[in-house]
Structure 1
Amino acid sequence: MATKIYMDNAATTPVRDEVLNTVIPYFKEYYGNASSVYSIAKESKKALEKAREQVAKGIGAKTDEIFFTAGGSESDNMALRGVAEALKGKGNHIITTKIEHHAILHTCEYLEKQGYEVTYLSVDEFGKISLDELEKSIRPETILISVMFANNEIGTIQPVAEIGKLAREKGVLFHTDAVQAVGHVLVDVEEMKIDLLSLSGHKLGAPKGVGAIYIRKGVPVQPLIFGGAQEKRKRAGTENIPGIVGLGKAVELAVADMEAETKRLVELRDKLISEILAKVPESRLNGHPTDRLPGNCNISFAYIEGESMLLLLDAMGIAASSGSACTSGSLDPSHVLMAIGLPHEIAHGSLRLTLDRINTPEDVEYVLNKVPDVVQKLREMSPLYEEVMNKKV
């Protein structure tokens, strides 16, 4: 069956119609290289700077603090590797968390091989860090704290403003991976004392392959990519003008209707959570019950395996994702679910449903009608579930 209900918006979102209409002319009419001097190139340059203003306004930054990249992963790499290289004479210690996106974790692993030391903060059962543990982890040689704004799997929002305040007091730079947050919750880099921030276009209705990094003025960052003088020599390469235009428009639109959209999504999300938990025995919510992204619903079911659940839901026209990493070629469960204390067998049976502006109350009703049946069907096929049920008889 073709997909009827798309609830994997944390993975990617469809390009918004308004964004697509804004982008098309930069493929066909205004295709000039923004670094050239003739008229058609000047249109590209003008569009580039307008998008920079739109992104900056969306996160409370100054226009000249925004640098465009190919996406969130590049921005994360640039933040960590760029700061580490720039400040290697000052210190070699970085602090992050156990539940970061792999763009952060794998970069930290790379830096450890280069002689840097990394502290991985634990999280509580809801996925939140301890500010006390963070403070105790800061050393004289600590150069960077990198804590994601909101988790991509369980939706938990970290105390970003408090982290920023602590980092600023200690004289340590603070980076946040805000790929899931920008356009969905309020982000203000000045008020929250954020020094570096990563964001990505395809998480909020812009095309794939475009992102940005905010670098507070004066923060030293070595570039990853060398070549031309684009992006004030921070990121070489001919600018992806259509993608950048789309990112700017998407941020502008998302921020403009954030308040109303958040209220709508929270109502739909809470209905999903409460009714699934009520209808399916031995299920549990993953992530913080209230400090979570408006559209995030992550629930674990005992005695079943996530990949089988996704396949059955897909056959019913529902696109979702799982806490099990088997679909990516690994038998290991999600590192995020393990970090919040779930045992392997429960982590493997997790379902993530993520809502966005494309989702309706009818979508939610359809999913609520199908998920309990899918879980029950899989449990009836599970030897473990049968064994547990026999013991209860």
Structure 2
Amino acid sequence: MPEVVKTAEFVETKFVSFFHENPLELQGGGFLSPVTVAYETYGKLNALGTNAILVCHALTANAHAAGYHQGEPQPGWWDGLIGPGKALDTDRFFVVCPNILGSCYGTTGPSSMNPKTGRPYCADFPAITVRDIVRVQKELLDFLRVQKLATVIGSSLGGMQVLEWAIMYPEFCETIIPISTSARQSAWCIGLNAAARAAIMGDPQWDNGNYDEQPETGLSVARMIGMLSYRSPDELKERFGRKQKNEDGGYFDDKNIFQVESYLRHQGKKLAERFDANTYLVLSRAMDWHDVTFGRGDLASVLGKISLPVLAIGVSSDIRYPIIEQKELVQFIPNARYAEINSIHGHDAFLIEFDQLNNMISEFFTTSIRGRL
């Protein structure tokens, strides 16, 4: 593949609102009006509107997928894949990354203002599903005058959106790339999310979702639970083993915690400082309700109707969404292929192993969309 060039220009998050006159009717029966969407774009849309790529983010991410915000030292969370010469080549593609419905980074969610009350929605925010998220994304793409997507790509919750795109709007997509995801949420993942939600709701500060101050303890513990499945046992063993924070301290000193404990506490604190607890509840529920077969038929028939080229990517050490779940997609989708990231980093490898991802995606594009734009 071409040499990867670092993205250097500054980018800005943009905002647009929809569903003013006609509210968004949600799959669960609720309504939202209006719906604001935060999004970023990279590259230029061609005259036909056919060179767009939709990037779908995971649970706690945002629209800032690539480039730099002015004054911020860190690039977007997928900068290793998006930019000139990278797999999602902005010299060739118009890349769109919206913050998803229900999130807390600019798109309407529990922390947004409820126009009926003049206060944040908090616990009054309605239940949403992955299909609702995708409908809002389609509204954004229509606004941007996108006529067709060269691909839809995303990992984890993002991968769930990718699969729904292929089912809900098959004629709008040339290809899809679901990463580290499944056709339907497993009991294992539902259980992990339930434990995380219990941590949040067990924090007295949560106040049945109507808090003024973030329930930081509960959200921190929720993140700690999640991190144990986002990384791998082998990675934690290699990085931390049984080492304590102070190797010269007392072994039985309660304050001399193990390094892995310190790591988890740090990750929990970081999330509590940047995310919203009610948002965690709403989006984790949306993940648990994810099931491409719901209201459609059996798995073989639903996936069998996806006729476009599919690259399903798994991670060798992913215990959250193990590779058997991506291989299941390939088993039932006629024009699907499987690629595996070899990594010790577990589920989070999609945020780390950019060399492997760039190669896999570029090779897939060579055979699946080259010359079609």
TM superposition score normalised by structure 2: 0.23
Name the structure, 1 or 2, with higher relative contact order (CA <8 Å, separation 6+): 1
Q: Is the helix fraction higher in 1 or 2?
A: 1
Q: State TM-score, norm by structure 1.
A: 0.22
Whose radius of gyration is greater, 1 or 2?
Answer: 1
